[in-house]
Structure 1
């Protein structure tokens, strides 16, 4: 991310996005040769955007101390939203007109712009408003080309007073152990140890403590402390390190090669410790060049590095050497607070102590927050004052935020512009909300926050943004739930602070929804029975320009029953929506007016009671995401679906669709299609999948019994879809044409990148050769179920990385024989070398399990055999890794035969 080193104004990415949209219109020759007044207005708009872009960095910094600049940025953002909506409408209407007539979009762009100007004065008003706002930059003395400036930050030094530090003794000893340990990476003369964690958590303080420790001083005969900050210049950094190591020498005019050579000479024969404090740069190749001279020191030399980003840590060191720094305990934060408040445990009275401890809890383990609050109350022993702070959300008040969270402000300030918008957007969700990464990225995409470079897809950019926010601790992995993320409360407060009037959560205005700002562009509402959505109708006219409406259900197991009318009215009022979610509510009907939301990019109706969708859905030209997960009453999708040419994500898992709509092959932008229900008619057969070349992640293909000609399966081109790692193939009824089903499965051969395969209801008598072929070395999970005509299992033992295998409901299978382990082509000496779980279930005719000596299943941890009543003979008698064995004969009984096995203690 090119912006990373220098941060970026919050509105910079927005201005660039608006300019990009405008440029696409102005580049159209029909505009240049069309109505002069139209061209003149658009050029005025462009001039405003260029002028304002130049002063945004200066305004970003001045807003913290100048309320006039802060208000100017609010007015500017409001005007930009209006301009962006206008341009989106113009380009969308031109594109829709061109698509309907199957012609080039340039044929319609000028006519749409001209007709819009003639029929409405909005564009003139929008341009005039923006011009007025931009003109105010002169009175505010905003400078052009101002860069993010670190001068107001005090550079770190190696000096620290250890008596001021609390709660870091264990961390100090652990890192010192790493510094003194010369056995790790013994083949290299240099070891880099990164300390990383949240801004303000105490990384620099910890490094200072370590740097001055007696054992460290004794170990390293040469030491240097360098505050790197965000201005990462390899030449300047090398020169600074040299000056620290050889203070009497001068290297001012040396080039990079000379500096590196001199640094090599200065370090040769020395055991050194260099601390690089506050590092932001994460390009591995740059680091490799920079660190070359350090390889010439004595073995045992170390670099200790502090950073806010795990990505930086990974660029400079292996994971085993990372030292992630955690938050302080409440007790340690209390000691920090007392120190800053100039109090001691002996001098503070019990009343103030009780209030003070409540205040410290609000710090959530962040040392700088405790310091700020302690400093705020220094010399103040008035109970009333302490209570006032304790009962108020101090960090939500602008004056107090500077005191409470300077570290968080700094972390935010130096985020790239595009990441700032993504982070602030998260303020729409309540505290402790559990984020789904994929869904959040789709919302960012709908809001046009993702700036693509080169051939990157928006989804790839979103993944990069998300991981960057996680690595900087703005978003954190959930402690117990895999693939789930949360936001620290202080980070949530920070997001809310910078969201200002533009993001609103309805529950914040529960008693007076009229307080929701007229500038609101992103609105969320928590589904709860005592606060119905109908309340929001009172403010629809105030928030008619909102771009986001998210219905959030915190009780995921419960769907709130709502009236359709309020939801329909809400949709009809909010014409500028880009993201709309009525997830987890009892919505039964989607009105035809949905087709009027031409700006809409994201529509989520998951878990609703929708039965059908209107044909007007096809008018949503910009729609990128349609989520219908667990709409269990949904029977059909409209044929107009084929017109959604920009659709990228369609989730129809756990619906009751009988078949797909016609023309799915036209949706060539699709990146994710959860399910494809094979139809019987031209236009919805399996061959429609052939044109969807960019499918990623997973797909479930159902009703494969409708494929009556196996050539249609070939036309689906499943083997070409290298982005699919999860494939499920379902037949809902057995066919009498065994040979056709075998041919169909053979021609649905997936790409070798596949990791997860499910086959259910297959009616053939044998499996194709590709199933179990050793070339599928990425497969880790297979389940075969309901294959009632199969009497022989495929050769799955030759899959080198298969970890989980389940085989169930094979009606005629009698013998699990040698073919299960290997075939003539197998090059694996050990069958099932990585298999960890194996389950046989409901194999009603299974009688014999032919075993393969002592070398099969070396990693098997769990073996389950259920309802296989005919099975006789031995089980495997040597499973060295087995931890769980379940033998279930009837539903009410479990028999465990551990005495038959050589189990480890």
Structure 2
């Protein structure tokens, strides 16, 4: 229906292309630079992208387009927007690939003057981004521009004019929502208790007089719930008219204008049209009218054989009076049972009357949302009705789809929680079965599906399923077989596998969807190649439910070069480097060739296997765009050089890093026992030094009492959070001076007995932590002494938590 997601895609691509063109125009001409003709094609593409982005934005603001020609034009523009993103992203991939090759080339040169010269050249390559544009991308950009010009030509020559006859315009929903104080219904049921509560509050008595402790009372709720009707009942109640000498009803439209509202209020109070135009005069007139005076502002019989169906229809409306009233008026003269069953079994929006009467009430709430919130709201159509959202799953989906408006300094989870609260406050999202779960009202869910249009699709297991060709975002539910699906469509950008909350045994992909490997003893399954061979445009892959299925994604996963986010719901991912998937035993997942996915930004969790068939961290070497990374099984690394090959120090976009040294019991399928060689953990951690742009660090099950020099180095000036969890280390690291550190949490380090001043400073005179606000120690079973804290060390500390540290005798005394 709208162009929200297409405009987001073309907007991201436009920003990338504009940045490249700015750099290209200022870069010196060289043999590696794109020919001027190619650059001109890209400049035309950039101008076209800007126009399409603006058009899609306008279409969203005026989304109730009725003309078929306009709908067709909007669809064609959205298709162009996605094609543009493909061209730009493929060029970005080419730039990333050249950067990786340049880094590898400089690393292979001995440490001489020639190597330094090569590093300078490579640095210039990455800073300028001047990489020749592949010829096929130039041709595609040219064709996109030609298609856009064709659409413009068509719309100019085939659109209707005023001389073609009288045109009928669909009323804007805002014009349908003007209200008055008049109650048109003869009887209104079910609101007496709510009405009496509001009146009692308005008439609360102090000393026998109306005390007016309430100056403003708001009635909030989702559209169609009956807020206006309740306000009308209160406004027309005789009890209020005895206590308020003045009362008025004012309708505030979406276009909020103080002068108009004030003038309408005066007219309602005096029953005389107000002629004032200046705000000061209007306010003075209003004050004179209300000063020192209390003011208040503010079915047919059903045939017996249809009664049970009617009750089910009422349940379907989930307590929404406007929907019940609309469907009742639609069916009151209908005696055909099949017609009633159609209403029960189909979505509300499949019928014209509810679409014209109920939709505007709900859509008004949607229209009042900011654009960024609309996208998050629509994305929830990927989940089924009555789905209970866990907060972290919902936020994870928004992050994967790049729906959170964050700059480099923002916390995505905090932004996501803010969006969640906004949706709840707007009554578009409800608290679910518990305080930690959320759900959509059924009609609100219908609204998300209606607004999402053909770009979103839920694959729910219908045996006759044929996936539409032009969908962009798809979710998979329940049990489906490979025979139900030919191939995933080439247009797909996101795949989300959904598991119903509480179904612990439901597999990530239904087991029947996969072909057996023949190695029944290993209980392995392989994803059919046909499912992904056509998905080269995939950006987001979220397989939430890897708990109960051992799965292999073979080498062709490496073909998904545009993939940016890869999530597996926190379950370990055992990686294999270019090995035959049929010969490798896995814990949960095998990813061959993942190192080719140089555009990846999110990898949920990687587990380093200790088996002979396992993998070191080398495949992470070239994934330099990643922003969040969790690595487990680090104690299985058999040589320090393998840890160094991860090249974490290259990953300047990495914001969150979790390093776990805990290992799992494994059995190698080749019959050999896993190697028991153990490299000192301090050497491994030293080799895993991240880039100094890191913001959050978690270290789990670290047993060494020696910490690397980089941990606590002041060069990590952006590091705000450190978690140390578990392990047998007897000491905490020397953190010295981290200027931005706000949160320092230590959990379950049972071998630590004493904590002294050395944790925060190494030498007398070392700087303290000027930003530390939250310090927490939990489950430190042997910790008995804490000393060496002086006054003024942590001027911003406002929360200190010490939990389950039973041997701690005293706290440091600070004067």
TM-score where L is the length of structure 1: 0.68
Q: C-alpha offsets along residues 397-419 of structure 1, whole Å, 9 cap, x if unaligned?
A: 67864455442233334444433
Q: Are positions 1:646 and 2:625 aligned together?
A: yes
Could you say what secondary structure the match of 1:626 adopts? strand
Question: Equivalents in 1 of 2:381, 2:272: separation in Å?
Answer: 53
Q: C-alpha offsets along residues 39-98 of structure 1, whole Å, 9 cap, x if unaligned?
A: 443344345445553476468647453344334333332232122211221233224424
Q: How does 1:263-278 map to 2 (within 5 A)?
A: 263-275=286-298
Q: Is the 8 A contact 1:13 1:417 kept in 2?
A: no
Q: Are positions 1:115 and 2:66 aligned together?
A: no
Among candidates 525, 535, 540, match of residue 476 of structure 2? 525
Residues 266/400 of structure 1: CA separation in 2 closer, same or farther (3 Å cut): closer
Corresponding residue of 2:712: 714
Question: Equivalents in 2 of 1:582, 1:715: separation in Å?
Answer: 37
Q: Is the 8 A contact 1:547 1:578 kept in 2?
A: yes
Corresponding residue of 1:65: 66
Q: Is the 8 A contact 2:626 2:653 kept in 1?
A: yes
Q: How does 1:837-848 map to 2 (within 5 A)?
A: none
Corresponding residue of 1:367: 321
Corresponding residue of 1:701: 699
Residues 360/744 of structure 1: CA separation in 2 closer, same or farther (3 Å cut): same
Q: Are positions 1:156 and 2:200 aligned together?
A: no
Corresponding residue of 2:497: 551
Could you say what secondary structure the match of 2:625 adopts? coil
Question: Equivalents in 2 of 1:643, 1:68: separation in Å?
Answer: 47
Among candidates 352, 368, 373, match of residue 419 of structure 1? 373
Question: Equivalents in 2 of 1:707, 1:155: separation in Å?
Answer: 71
Corresponding residue of 2:244: 220
Q: C-alpha offsets along residues 614-670 of structure 1, whole Å, 9 cap, x if unaligned?
A: 484344333222112899999866234354333222345799866966433443433
Corresponding residue of 1:783: 778
Shift of 1:505: 1.8
Q: Are positions 1:762 and 2:751 aligned together?
A: yes
Q: Is the 8 A contact 1:598 1:622 kept in 2?
A: yes
Among candidates 653, 656, 666, match of residue 669 of structure 1? 653
Q: Which runs of 5+ in 1 are unaligned?
A: 1-6, 276-338, 735-740, 827-905
Q: Is the 8 A contact 1:447 1:579 kept in 2?
A: yes
Q: Is the 8 A contact 1:687 1:716 kept in 2?
A: no
Could you say what secondary structure the match of 1:103 adopts? helix
Q: Is the 8 A contact 1:548 1:579 kept in 2?
A: yes
Q: C-alpha offsets along residues 719-758 of structure 1, whole Å, 9 cap, x if unaligned?
A: 9743x3x834322x36xxxxxx446377699988548641
Corresponding residue of 1:584: 545
Shift of 1:498: 2.5
Q: Is the 8 A contact 1:91 1:109 kept in 2?
A: no
Shift of 1:581: 2.1
Shift of 1:489: 1.9
Question: Equivalents in 1 of 2:144, 2:634: separation in Å?
Answer: 44
Q: Is the 8 A contact 1:396 1:493 kept in 2?
A: no
Corresponding residue of 1:94: 95
Corresponding residue of 2:147: 129
Q: Are positions 1:45 and 2:45 aligned together?
A: yes
Q: Is the 8 A contact 2:6 2:78 kept in 1?
A: yes
Question: Equivalents in 2 of 1:676, 1:187: separation in Å?
Answer: 63
Q: C-alpha offsets along residues 247-299 of structure 1, whole Å, 9 cap, x if unaligned?
A: 54745431x45544554454432322332xxxxxxxxxxxxxxxxxxxxxxxx
Q: How does 1:734-745 map to 2 (within 5 A)?
A: 741-742=730-731, 744=733
Q: Are positions 1:729 and 2:725 aligned together?
A: yes
Corresponding residue of 1:883: none
Q: How does 1:597-612 map to 2 (within 5 A)?
A: 597-606=560-569, 610-612=573-575
Q: Are positions 1:29 and 2:6 aligned together?
A: no
Q: Is the 8 A contact 1:719 1:748 kept in 2?
A: no
Residues 611/353 of structure 1: CA separation in 2 closer, same or farther (3 Å cut): same
Could you say what secondary structure the match of 2:725 adopts? strand
Question: Equivalents in 1 of 2:717, 2:46: separation in Å?
Answer: 47
Question: Equivalents in 2 of 1:630, 1:148: separation in Å?
Answer: 58
Could you say what secondary structure the match of 1:538 adopts? coil
Q: How does 1:289-328 map to 2 (within 5 A)?
A: none
Q: Which runs of 5+ in 2 are unaligned?
A: 103-121, 163-168, 517-524, 578-591, 663-679, 761-767, 792-796
Question: Equivalents in 1 of 2:172, 2:689: separation in Å?
Answer: 55
Question: Equivalents in 2 of 1:523, 1:578: separation in Å?
Answer: 12
Could you say what secondary structure the match of 1:230 adopts? coil
Corresponding residue of 1:627: 604
Residues 593/14 of structure 1: CA separation in 2 closer, same or farther (3 Å cut): closer
Q: C-alpha offsets along residues 503-526 of structure 1, whole Å, 9 cap, x if unaligned?
A: 222225x3233x211101112212
Q: Is the 8 A contact 1:783 1:806 kept in 2?
A: yes
Residues 394/729 of structure 1: CA separation in 2 closer, same or farther (3 Å cut): closer
Question: Equivalents in 1 of 2:47, 2:62: separation in Å?
Answer: 24
Question: Equivalents in 2 of 1:15, 1:117: separation in Å?
Answer: 16
Could you say what secondary structure the match of 2:562 adopts? coil
Aligned length: 712
Could you say what secondary structure the match of 2:176 adopts? coil
Q: How does 1:303-452 map to 2 (within 5 A)?
A: 339=299, 343=300, 347-396=301-350, 401-402=355-356, 405-452=359-406
Question: Equivalents in 2 of 1:35, 1:247: separation in Å?
Answer: 74
Residues 729/565 of structure 1: CA separation in 2 closer, same or farther (3 Å cut): closer
Corresponding residue of 1:499: 452
Question: Equivalents in 1 of 2:259, 2:725: separation in Å?
Answer: 58
Could you say what secondary structure the match of 2:491 adopts? coil
Among candidates 75, 99, 103, match of residue 123 of structure 2? 103
Residues 452/230 of structure 1: CA separation in 2 closer, same or farther (3 Å cut): farther
Shift of 1:454: 9.5
Corresponding residue of 1:565: 526
Question: Equivalents in 2 of 1:687, 1:480: separation in Å?
Answer: 41
Q: Is the 8 A contact 2:648 2:691 kept in 1?
A: no
Question: Equivalents in 1 of 2:504, 2:388: separation in Å?
Answer: 11
Among candidates 439, 442, 445, match of residue 486 of structure 1? 439
Question: Equivalents in 2 of 1:751, 1:40: separation in Å?
Answer: 45
Among candidates 151, 174, 195, match of residue 197 of structure 2? 174
Q: Are positions 1:806 and 2:804 aligned together?
A: yes
Could you say what secondary structure the match of 2:255 adopts? coil
Residues 640/397 of structure 1: CA separation in 2 closer, same or farther (3 Å cut): farther
Shift of 1:174: 1.9
Residues 39/744 of structure 1: CA separation in 2 closer, same or farther (3 Å cut): closer
Which stretch of the first structure deviates more once superposed, 707-716 or 217-226? 707-716
Residues 371/264 of structure 1: CA separation in 2 closer, same or farther (3 Å cut): same
Residues 633/627 of structure 1: CA separation in 2 closer, same or farther (3 Å cut): farther
Q: Is the 8 A contact 2:545 2:569 kept in 1?
A: yes
Shift of 1:239: 3.9
Q: Is the 8 A contact 1:524 1:550 kept in 2?
A: yes
Question: Equivalents in 2 of 1:179, 1:716: separation in Å?
Answer: 60
Among candidates 577, 588, 596, match of residue 559 of structure 2? 596
Among candidates 226, 242, 245, match of residue 202 of structure 1? 226
Could you say what secondary structure the match of 1:467 adopts? helix
Which stretch of the first structure deviates more once superposed, 442-451 or 53-62? 53-62
Shift of 1:392: 3.4
Question: Equivalents in 2 of 1:690, 1:106: separation in Å?
Answer: 17
User: RMSD of aligned C-alpha atoms?
Assistant: 4.5
Residues 721/263 of structure 1: CA separation in 2 closer, same or farther (3 Å cut): farther
Question: Equivalents in 1 of 2:757, 2:618: separation in Å?
Answer: 35
Question: Equivalents in 2 of 1:557, 1:654: separation in Å?
Answer: 25
Corresponding residue of 2:582: none
